[in-house]
Amino acid sequence: MRFLTFLVAISLGWSAHAAPAPLPIGTILVLGDSLTAGYELSVEQRWSTLLDARLSSEGLPWRVVNAGVSGDTTAGGLTRLPELLETHHPVLVILALGANDGLRGMPPAQIEARLRALIEAIQASGAEILLAGQKIPPNLGRRYTEAFEGLYPKLAQAYHLPSIPFLLEGAAGDPALTLPDGMHPNARGQEVVVETVYRALVRAFKAP
């Protein structure tokens, strides 16, 4: 197992100064919205399902639970989180919320406060966090867009969290990889997302 993880590390270019931390065997909980829930897609097509299969094929000892709810916000995540932690006892939470807050123009300070509350509650449970950055269309203006998108690197630095700069990197904005709404990844786009998440996961953590 360690040898396999070592090979993966070499292939992704880990440096001696960025050694991954051990992650205990257990559940990876993905807390998100429709981008996690797999809007208009089958369970088999969702990136969380693909991630679970990828980890299994690599012999890595984690199973993935999809806790995505379409339309969810950071406030909804805070409401759902205690029961999710109690039910699944995750060793890692992939935190992928906030896009709907931004689309609705909620004040960045309010979004930040809720993300901080989510992070601190997850950490208090003993679980690790992989923070998935979110982006929004620029229709609310440059100032708001930059303030919103800047929350994720700011929080990753403040809480020393491994992070994904943008969950939909490589898929967003590509008509071949998104549904007709131009926002949600289609089945092909889900394959791009899972690769992004997988690479971030194995960069940050290794099997025990």
Considering only CA atoms, which of 63, 121, 61 is closest in space to residue 97? 121
Q: What is the pLDDT of residue 208?
A: 84
Active-site residue (options: 48, 52, 72, 184): 184
Q: Residue 123 CB: number of other CB atoms within 10 A?
A: 14
Task: Give the pair of three-digit tokens for residue 189.
Answer: 């786009």
Question: Domains of the chain (ranges plus CATH)?
Answer: 2-206 (3.40.50.1110)
Q: Is the pTM of this model over 0.85?
A: yes
For 91, phi and psi rounded to 5 degrees? -90, -20
Active-site residue (options: 34, 70, 125, 174): 34
The sign of the CA dihedral 157, 159, 161, 167 is: negative
Distances (CA, A) of 159 to 2, 115, 193: 28, 11, 24
Asked if 184 is an active-site residue, the reply is yes
Walk along the chain (208 residues) and give the pLDDT tens digit of each residue.
333 333 333 333 333 335 788 999 999 999 999 999 999 999 999 999 999 999 999 999 999 999 999 999 999 999 999 999 999 999 999 999 999 999 999 999 999 999 999 999 999 999 999 999 999 999 999 999 999 999 999 999 999 999 999 999 999 999 999 999 999 999 999 999 999 999 999 999 988 8
Asked if 34 is an active-site residue, the reply is yes
Q: Residue 94 and residue 76: Cα distance in Å, rounded?
A: 16
Asked if 181 is an active-site residue, the reply is yes
Active-site residue (options: 15, 42, 57, 181): 181
